[in-house]
Amino acid sequence: MDLQKLLKIVAIVIGVISIYFLGDIISTGNDQIRAGEGSIIVNMFMYVSYIVLAIAVLIVLVFSVLNLVSNTEGLKNTLTGVAAFVVLGLLCYFGFANGVETPLKNGDMLSASGSKLVGAGLYLFYFLAVIAGGIMLGFGIKKMVK
């Protein structure tokens, strides 16, 4: 049995177990969880989900790094993309975002640096959305011309 089939079987088993846990949490109900009756079960399921997430992220990172190390052209393209993303993020943070202390609904204050990070994230999202839309539009026009 090859590794891909084994990973598919493990993913299916984890998915079925997750569906069971989700059903158990939903059947416990919000009122019981708020009252603390189901908090032990919910906490246990949360820790299980954190462990599964950590395993999944670790597997993806390991296979990605192995793939990039064996493919130098792919590594160069990946590093170019990461560098462009970092440069765009720094441009948004230092060039476009403003930091202003802002009162929150719960009475706390959002610091100027926190406000600047939120603004930079929003600008970064807008720029990436425009870039992705432009690329899709460009390839669509190119395909229509052919």
Place of tokens 């202390």: 101
Percent of the chain with pLDDT over 70: 90
In whole angstroms, give the CA distance from residue 67 to residue 81.
16
pLDDT band for position 36 (cuts 50, 70, 90): low
Q: Write the pLDDT tens digit of every residue in 111-131.
A: 999 999 999 999 999 999 999
Q: Write the pLDDT tens digit of every residue in 87-110.
A: 999 999 999 999 888 888 888 898
Domain borders along the chain are 1-70, 71-146
pTM equals: 0.59
Q: Which of 35-39, 61-65, 81-85 has the highest mean pLDDT?
A: 81-85
Q: Cβ atoms within 10 A of the Cβ of 112, count?
A: 13
Q: Give the H or E element holding residue 75.
A: helix 72-91
**pLDDT-wise least confident of 16-20, 30-34, 66-70, 87-91:** 30-34
Residues 6 or more apart in contact with residue 119 via CB below 8 angstroms: 96, 97, 98, 99
Answer yes or no: are the C-beta atoms of 32 and 38 closer than 8 Å.
yes
